[in-house]
Amino acid sequence: MTATAQPAIELRSVGKTFRVAGGILGKDRRVVAVDGVSFAVPPGGVLGVVGESGCGKSTLARLILGLLTPDSGDIAVEGQRIVDMDRKARARLIQPVFQDPFSSLNPLTRIRDIVAMPLQAQGSFSRAEIAKRVDEMLERVGLPGEMGNRLPAELSGGQRQRVAIARALVLRPRIVVCDEPTSALDVSVQAQILNLLAELRRDLGLTYLFISHNLAVVEHVASEVAVMYLGRIVEKKPTQALFHSPEHPYTKALLASVLTPEPGLGVPDVGLGDVMPDPANIPPGCRFHPRCPVAESRCSTQTPPLRPRPGGGVECLLVP
Amino acid sequence: MSALLDVERLEVGFGGRTSAVRGASLTVERGETHCLVGESGCGKSVTALAIMNLLARGGHRSAQRLAFQDEDLLKLDERGMARLRGNSMAMIFQEPMTSLNPAYTIGSQMTEVMRRHKKVSQRVATDRAADLLGRVGITAPGLRLGQFPHQLSGGLRQRVMIAMALMCEPQLLIADEPTTALDVTVQAQILRLLAQLQRDLGLGLLLITHDLGIVARIAHRVSVMYAGEVVESAATAQLFADPRHPYTQGLLRCVPVPGKQRQDEPLGSIPGTVPRIGPGFEGCGFRDRCSFADASCAHTVPHQTAAPGHDYLCRLAP
């Protein structure tokens, strides 16, 4: 892979705002979900995206999948603008794996048919070809062939997530967007699924966008990490650099809140206060300043510029 | 003095087909945080519900001993139990939105518990509610008392649940996955609060979780549950330093720890899934997933002691 290779995913100043009806008397509210986000993921890379609920990470996933249209900016997947692609071509290139394997599989459809659906939707595969590819895929994700004839309710959470992965990969896409793929699973099953995703990426040369609120998981799977706060990426770096020398106070707080299984350390003081971020009401200046433990008065008026770093950058007024 | 809560050989079954808890024993001392850890379906929540006598219809509990402050809970009728619940033993649940009533204000829900158990005036109850909201780190408690649950964030709701559970000065607080639905940052705040309250009020805290990170940071004592049994129990430092049961060891290997694991190395994992166990099951519930299992594991599981206070259920020698 050369340095000049075209990025697998590229975002340029992407923005997305939702209008939320305010009720009978209330005013409509504008919820800023994604605000001026730019990044590029190289082919074969894994970009981890972390942040709290409401930070816009799932909206970002939907934009990249082409399920939502950005209000501003451009999203290109392997050099093609995602909004210009037709659905079938898009499905052959990029596929999702969602969080909840209980709600993302149709309960009345047999596993085989769930996995076959993307092939059938293409309309260009013969029945024999579909059956062959489904069998291969089920085996590849570690599901015994007889599972194909079962319904989702007969499977455990981990098995269902394997089905979701099989469905995502059956068209042999180049890119997979994983939105909290293991958050609903037990730790022992989470480990199985993370190992499977890592193995598939290596063997099939996939690129992942991996969204999670669990920093320990992101550290294990990602080559680069982007930290999102109220719609913006406030810090992005190669994984090692982000974990060893976090610069943004929010990144530091996120890292401090990871409870590693080390007895005796007690529960850390994250120091974020109890003001919760509200995407309908983005603070002026640095949007993190109301919760920032080290904020100065200028942080409430000046917008922090992007300070470039190798492989990314950080947006904070207080870092040099 | 005997333990605050003493559970000996608790059995819970549902309709004669499923054995959810199989002979689980645990004690919670005054002023102690005891974590019950295990994966979904291991019986940890059912254990808590059985202690509170809140099992769903069809659930049946029995035990050699089930005592709270030396009072035999098995002999109490529903009235007697209702006198304890929310009073000297309180419980908080995972999802605060479903355990708060959306149609009543925070204030009326908080004061109801105390007015019922302590027969105090609304005024006294409201003062105590405001005081406790302040204590759990909620600013402007007066305002919050007049608000409805939907007006609060998830973290605030869980703080309200904790404050509500403390209204009648309980001796024992059972918390069932209290932070699982919350963001990591909020989770750390809530756990810090629980640990602090536990210390300051001398509570006995039975905390149920699937997260070994939480256990390591907050527990004094840990019981690991698998397939309805407590398979290992020890003081926290001891359990993490010297886990004896193959399930405990496997569980610890599954947890990704920043900086501890190379990226190209797979995480440790436990193959297979938790078995469904019915009455009459014999032997070790973990044997199908265990790399140390031999023929003897199909019928006998010895109870062994690795060190004082460190017990486990496995044939492997201490």
pLDDT tens by residue, A139-171: 999 998 889 999 998 888 889 999 999 999 999
pLDDT at B88: 94
What band does A2 get if pLDDT is binned at 50, 70 and 90? Answer: very low
**Alpha-carbon gap: B77 to the closest alpha carbon of chain A (Å):** 36
Phi/psi at B168 (5° precision): -100, 25
> Which of chain B's residues have a Cβ under 8 Å away from the Cβ of A293?
none
**Residue A129: inside a domain:** yes
**Does residue A33 contact residue A59 with C-beta atoms inside 8 Å?**
yes
pLDDT tens by residue, A215-239: 989 999 999 999 999 999 999 999 9
What band does A23 get if pLDDT is binned at 50, 70 and 90? Answer: low
* Mean pLDDT lowest among A19-23, A282-286, B105-109, B249-253: A19-23
The count of other CB atoms within 10 Å of the CB of residue B215 is 25
Residue of B nearest to A258 (CA): B184
Residue of B nearest to A273 (CA): B189
Look up the CATH number of domain B5-30+39-88+221-313: 3.40.50.300
**Is residue A173 predicted with pLDDT exceeding 50?**
yes
> Which of chain A's residues have a Cβ under 8 Å away from the Cβ of B35?
none
Q: Model's pTM, two decimal places?
A: 0.89
pLDDT at B280: 84
Residue of B nearest to A268 (CA): B188
Pairing, β B33-37 against β B221-226: parallel
**Does residue B9 contact residue B268 with C-beta atoms inside 8 Å?**
no
**Is residue A21 predicted with pLDDT exceeding 90?**
no
A57 or A21, higher pLDDT: A57
> Which of chain B's residues have a Cβ under 8 Å away from the Cβ of A260?
213, 216, 255, 257-258
**Residue A320: inside a domain:** no
**Does residue B81 contact residue B26 with C-beta atoms inside 8 Å?**
no
Q: CB-CB: which of B154, B240, B273 is closest to A158?
A: B273
Burial class (CB in 10 A: 0-12, 13-18, 19+), A1: exposed
**Is residue A288 predicted with pLDDT exceeding 90?**
yes
Task: Report d(CA A274, CA A231) in Å as an integer.
Answer: 20
The count of other CB atoms within 10 Å of the CB of residue B237 is 14
**Residue A187: inside a domain:** yes
pLDDT tens by residue, A70-90: 999 999 999 999 989 999 999
The tokens describing A46, both together, are 């894994």
In DSSP notation, A53-122 reads TTSSHHHHHHHHTTSS--SEEEEEETTEEGGGS-HHHHHHHEEEE-S-TTTSS-TTS-HHHHHHHHHHHH
Burial class (CB in 10 A: 0-12, 13-18, 19+), A66: buried
Longest dimension (CA), chain B: 66
B85 or A4, higher pLDDT: B85
- Average pLDDT per block of 10 residues along chain B, 318 residues long: 92 87 95 94 93 92 95 94 93 84 94 92 94 86 90 86 93 92 85 92 95 95 96 97 96 85 80 81 92 92 94 91
Could you tell me if B178 lies within 8 Å of chain A, comparing CB atoms? no
**Which helix (DSSP H) or strand (DSSP E) does residue A178 occupy?**
strand A175-179
Q: What is residue A136's three-state secondary structure?
A: helix
**Alpha-carbon gap: B274 to the closest alpha carbon of chain A (Å):** 9
Supply the ipTM of this predicted assembly: 0.85
- Residue A263 DSSP symbol: T
Q: CB-CB: which of B40, B256, B268 is closest to A216?
A: B256
Could you tell me if B134 lies within 8 Å of chain A, comparing CB atoms? no
**Does residue B208 contact residue B176 with C-beta atoms inside 8 Å?**
yes
**Is residue A1 predicted with pLDDT exceeding 60?**
no
Could you tell me if B258 lies within 8 Å of chain A, comparing CB atoms? yes
CATH number at residue A20: 3.40.50.300
Q: Give all strands (DSSP E) within chain B, no chain letters.
A: 5-14, 18-28, 33-37, 59-62, 65-68, 71-72, 89-92, 172-176, 204-209, 221-226, 229-235, 303-307, 310-313
Please give the mean pLDDT across all residues of chain B. 91
pLDDT at A4: 58
**Residue A1: inside a domain:** no
The tokens describing A254, both together, are 């996120």
**Residue A241: inside a domain:** yes
**Does residue A94 contact residue A169 with C-beta atoms inside 8 Å?**
no
pLDDT at B2: 84
Residue recorded with tokens 């459809």: A109
Q: CB-CB: which of A53, A257, A263 is closest to B237?
A: A263
CA distances from A138 to A99, A143, A172, B12, B100 (A): 19, 5, 13, 37, 43
What band does A309 get if pLDDT is binned at 50, 70 and 90? Answer: very high
pLDDT at B15: 82
Phi/psi at A234 (5° precision): -90, -20
Q: CB-CB: which of B187, B216, B250 is closest to A261?
A: B216
- Nearest Cα residue to A57 out of A227, A303, A251: A227
Q: CB-CB: which of B156, B241, B254 is closest to A187?
A: B254
B263 to A268: CB separation less than 8 angstroms, yes or no: no
pLDDT tens by residue, A241-281: 999 999 999 999 999 999 999 998 899 988 887 677 888 88
Q: CB-CB: which of A186, A198, A216 is closest to B266?
A: A198
pLDDT at B1: 64
Rg for chain A (alpha carbons), in Å? 21
Ranges in chain B annotated CATH 3.40.50.300: 5-30+39-88+221-313
**Total domain count for chain A?**
1
A188 to B270: CB separation less than 8 angstroms, yes or no: yes
CB contact residues (below 8 A), chain A span 257-276, against chain B: 257-270, 272, 274, 276
Task: Report d(CA B1, CA B204) in Å as an integer.
Answer: 14
CB contact residues (below 8 A), chain A span 182-201, against chain B: 186-192, 194-195, 198-199
> Which of chain B's residues have a Cβ under 8 Å away from the Cβ of A216?
255-258
In DSSP notation, B109-124 reads HHHHHHHHHH---HHH
What band does A100 get if pLDDT is binned at 50, 70 and 90? Answer: confident
Task: Report d(CA A143, CA A137) in Å as an integer.
Answer: 9
CB contact residues (below 8 A), chain B span 35-74, against chain A: 39-40
**Is residue A291 predicted with pLDDT exceeding 70?**
yes
Q: Which domain holds residue A283?
A: 9-314
Residue of A nearest to B41 (CA): A186
- Nearest Cα residue to A181 out of A277, A256, A104, A238: A104
Q: CB-CB: which of A53, A216, A220 is closest to B263?
A: A220
Which residues are CB-neighbours of B173 under 8 A, at least 6 positions away? B89, B90, B91, B92, B165, B166, B198, B203, B204, B205, B206
